[in-house]
Structure 1
């Protein structure tokens, strides 16, 4: 199995079906926090249902249609990032995240999604990656901003969650924008003029 360092004693790894017990324990620690804005993990209440979700995403990865990656901090699973959808033929994907409260504020999600974006744009030739978040989910929207995404618009009253209508913001990043930002960052790091 491979792992990608996220710095500061954190790493990104694929979440596999054999992680079901660890994944369930993580969800149990963060269930209320994670579920504030998204239903991720709400149906996974025992090891079998946790394994079923991880197996579904393992199949998606095998079919080149998505993928689920865990974020481990100091050896403990604390959250993750994913491609909810991934369409290499169309060149589009939708990324997302979740995190338990103990890991908030460390930049783990932003760094983890950057790894996924780099792979999608540079290795797989994806043209557009979307990020969707409830307008009330300020931390998620802040991740989109830090990643250099642009807000495409707001789908007013689009999402029914926990009996209430939410506005859903759609953010995106295009491959040319990703490459331009990387070039600009490299120029700043080297101290060379633009």
Structure 2
């Protein structure tokens, strides 16, 4: 499979597949409290079999062309990832998301990886709209969406229940034409 360099700092974007279950679990264990502050991603992966189940679910989504999971490695260590939680080719709409363990924050890994995936979704797969959903309190995620050029479209008030707390979820999006125009302007 592919390994795409994300720069000179040893960062790579690769598929995150079922055979990565042990590495995925070790990564989640290192960052579990941080990763699951606002989202349940990986919360149920407490041993290798349950970690493998998450990876298998995304492998099945990839096989159905309706989602995918990609890992972020830094100097050979899995430190986070990006995903297409939804990939609806019939409507040309997808939702991208991300997660990191604490040691990987502040390096621009998510921004760099998301650019690669959004370029592919828009240019190669013809996606018309890419969405970003994040809890309103998750300022790091909201700042990433803003850095990527997404537009805040609204808030779903108290739409997500996590750890017994109702959270507002912000919806951000970028349209293909805006994504492509921003790239043209950044090339000059």
Deviations 1:86-123 (A, max 9, x none): 01111000000000000010000111111110000000
CA RMSD of aligned residues (A): 0.5
Task: Provide the residue aligned with 2:2 in structure 1.
Answer: 2
Alignment: residue pair count:
187
Q: Which residue of 2 aligns with 1:172?
A: 173
- The question of 1:135 aligning with 2:136 is answered yes
- With the length of structure 2 as denominator, give the TM-score of the two structures: 0.98
SS at 1:132 equivalent: strand
TM-score, length basis structure 1: 0.95
Aligned to 1:122: 123
Q: Which has the larger radius of gyration?
A: 1
1:43 deviation in Å?
0.4
Aligned residue runs from structure 1 range 27-38, under 5 A:
27-38=28-39
How far apart are 1:159 and its partner, in Å?
1.1
Equivalence for 1:190? none
Gaps of 5+ in 1: 188-194
Poorly superposed stretches of 4+, deviation over 4 Å: none
Partner of 2:81: 80
> What does residue 153 of structure 2 align with?
152
Cα deviation for residue 161 of structure 1 reads 1.0
CA displacement 1:136-187 (0-9 Å, x = unmatched): 0000000000000000101111111111111110000100000100000011
